[in-house]
Amino acid sequence: MTIVRPALGLLRLVALLLAVALAAFTLLRLSPVDPVAAYLGPGIARLLPEQRAALEAAWGLDQPAAVQFWRWLGHVLSGDLGWSTSHNAPVAAVIAERGGATLRLALPALVLSGLLGFALGLMAGAREGGRLDRAVRLYAYVLAATPTFWLAIVALAVFSVGLGWAPLCCSGPIGVTPDAVTLGQTLAHLALPLTVLTLFGTAQVTLHTRAKVAEVMRSDHALFAFAQGASRRDVAWRHGARAALTPALTILCASIGEILGGTILAEEVFAYPGLGRATVEAGVGGDVPLLLALTLLAAALVAGGNWAADRLYPHVDPRLRAGEGPA
C-alpha cells in the first residue's frame, strides 16, 4: 500500500495536468485573438498573404488542432516549453525571469494570510456572539465579496497617490536596473501589493477557523474544562486551535489557486513584473505556448498544495498519524 498510493497519486496528477492542458488549448483555439495579428500589431496591414502563410507554417498554425496539441505536448515532455512570441524568448526563460518576482509576492501573501486568518478566526470563535466576533465576521464577509483588482486600485489611490506612502508601480524605482535595486527599495515596492494579497486571502481561513473554534467551545469537553476552572482563552487555545488547525490548513492550501488569480490582478494594477502580468500580456498577445505553460504551472502548484496538505495532516493531528499504519 505504501507504494501503490504514491503511484496512484502520481497518475492522478498526470491525468489532471493532461486534462488542464487539453482544456486550455481548446479555449485558446476558440479565442478570437489572432496570434499573427497580435504579434505584428499595426504591421499586419503590410503583410502579404504568402508571408502570413510562411509565418503560420513556421509556428505550426497551419496544422490541424489535434496535430498542434500533440506536437506541443511532445515538446513539453522532452523539456521544451516552446517560444514566447510576446517576449521573443524561450518560455522557460520567461518563467524563470518572472517567477522570482511572483514568488516573492505570492508566497509571503499565502503564509501571512493563513496566520492572520487563523488568529482572527480563533479570537472570534472563542467569543462567539460577542462584539469581536461580529466585527471579525463583518470584516471577513466584506473582504470575501471584494474583488482583488478593486481593492488594489483603492489601495493604490489612497496610499500611493493620496498619501504618498508607497511607490506607484513596479518592483523597483523606474530607470534603475534590477541589479542596482537595493533590498529596501525592493521591500518598499513589495509592501502594498503584498498587503492587498494578504487581505484578499484572509477571509476564507478566518470564517472556517471561527466556525470550528465556536463548535469546539460548545462541545462537552469544553464544558468539562470550564467546570474545572479553565478560562475561555485556555480552552480556545488548547482545544479549539488544534481542532481548527487541520481545516484551516486545508483551506489555506486550497486557496493557492485564488492567491495565484489574485496575483494576476494585483500585478496588473501595480505593474509588478511577475508571472501574473506575463499571463495578461500573453493573453492579449495570443502567446499560446506561454499561456499553456503558465496554466500547467498553476495547476501543478494547486495540486502540489493539496499534496502538501495531505502530508502535513499527520503532523498536525496525531489521530491521523496513528491511522496511517493500516492504510
Confidence at 107, pLDDT banded by 50, 70, 90: confident
Domain check: are 153 and 267 in the same one?
yes
C-alpha cell at 161: 497617490
Is residue 19 domain-resident? yes
Asked if residue 193 belongs to a domain, the reply is yes
- Burial of 146-161, coded b for 16+ CB within 10 Å and e otherwise, reads eebeebbeebbeebbe
| Same-domain check for residues 42 and 28 | yes
327 is a domain residue: no
Same domain? 273 vs 288: yes
pTM: 0.74
Contact 232, 71 (CB under 8 A): no
Q: What is the mean pLDDT of residues 43-66?
A: 75
Q: Tell whether 149 and 227 lie within a shared domain.
A: yes
Segment 219-273, tens digit of pLDDT: 777 777 777 777 777 777 777 777 777 777 777 777 777 787 788 878 888 888 8
Residues 122 and 255 placed together within one structural domain of the fold: yes
Query: Quick one: 78 and 181 in the same domain?
Result: no
Listed residues 88, 115, 140: the one ending a domain: 88
Q: Say if residue 229 is in the same domain as residue 277.
A: yes
160 and 186 part of one domain:
yes
Contacts of residue 42, Cβ cutoff 8 Å, sequence gap at least 6: none
Identify the pLDDT of residue 241: 78
Query: Is 302 in contact with 257 (CB distance < 8 Å)?
Result: yes
Same-domain pairing of 70 and 167: no
Average pLDDT over residues 130-140: 88
Specify whether 40 is located in the same domain as 74.
Answer: yes
Domain boundary among 88, 109, 130: 88
Distance CA 180, CA 189 (A): 14
pLDDT > 70: percent of the chain: 88
219 and 105 fall within a common domain = yes
Cβ atoms < 10 Å from Cβ of 14: 10
The C-alpha cell that represents 84 in the structure block:
514566447
Confidence of residue 1 (pLDDT cuts 50, 70, 90): very low
Write the CATH number for 264.
1.10.3720.10
317 pLDDT band, cuts 50/70/90, is low
Residues 184 and 254 in one domain: yes
Number of domains in the chain: 2
Q: Which domain holds residue 191?
A: 91-322
Angle between helices 275-284 and 256-269 (to 10 degrees): 70
C-alpha–C-alpha distance, residues 314 and 217, integer Å: 23
**CB distance 151 to 253 below 8 Å:** no
Residue 96 lies in a domain: yes
Angle between helical axes of 202-217 and 241-254 (0-180°, round to 10): 160
Nearest one of 202, 195, 198 to 144, comparing CA atoms: 202
Residue 268 lies in a domain: yes
Does any domain span residue 179?
yes
Of 117 and 32, the one with more pLDDT: 117
The residues with which 83 forms a beta bridge, in sequence order, are: 90
Q: Of 88, 120, 144, which residue sits at a domain end? A: 88
- Please give the angle made by the CA atoms of 192, 195 and 201, to the nearest 5 degrees: 145
Is the residue at 15 inside a domain? yes
Q: Is residue 275 part of a domain?
A: yes
In whole angstroms, what is the distance from residue 64 CA to residue 36 CA? 17
3 state SS of 323: coil
Contact 272, 172 (CB under 8 A): no
